[in-house]
Amino acid sequence: MTCLRPINIVEGKQHYQTIGVLMNIDLPAELIERVHQKAKLNRRMSDADVIRRALDSLDWFEQELVAIEEGISAWRAGEVQDFTEFDREFRHQNGIAFGD
Tens digit of each residue's pLDDT (9 = 90 or more) over 54-69: 999 999 999 999 999 9
Closest among 8, 1, 3 to 46, alpha carbons compared:
8
82, part of any domain: yes
Closest among 43, 38, 48 to 9, alpha carbons compared:
48
Count of structural domains within the chain: 1
Per-residue CA distances from 94 to 41, 91, 98 (Å): 43, 5, 11
100, part of any domain: no
100 pLDDT higher than 70: no
66, part of any domain: yes
The answer to whether residues 50 and 38 touch, using CB atoms and an 8 Å cutoff, is yes
99, part of any domain: no
Q: Is the Cα dihedral 86, 87, 88, 91 positive or negative?
A: positive
**Residue 49: which domain range?**
5-94
pLDDT of residue 98: 80
43, part of any domain: yes
User: 26-47 pLDDT, tens per residue?
Assistant: 889 999 999 999 999 988 888 8
- Distance (Å, rounded) from C-alpha 42 to C-alpha 2? 24
The answer to whether residues 37 and 31 touch, using CB atoms and an 8 Å cutoff, is no
How confident is the model over 9-24, as a mean pLDDT?
Answer: 64
How confident is the model over 72-96, as a mean pLDDT?
Answer: 94
69, part of any domain: yes
Instruction: Place 6 in a pLDDT band, splitting at 50, 70 and 90.
Output: low
30, part of any domain: yes
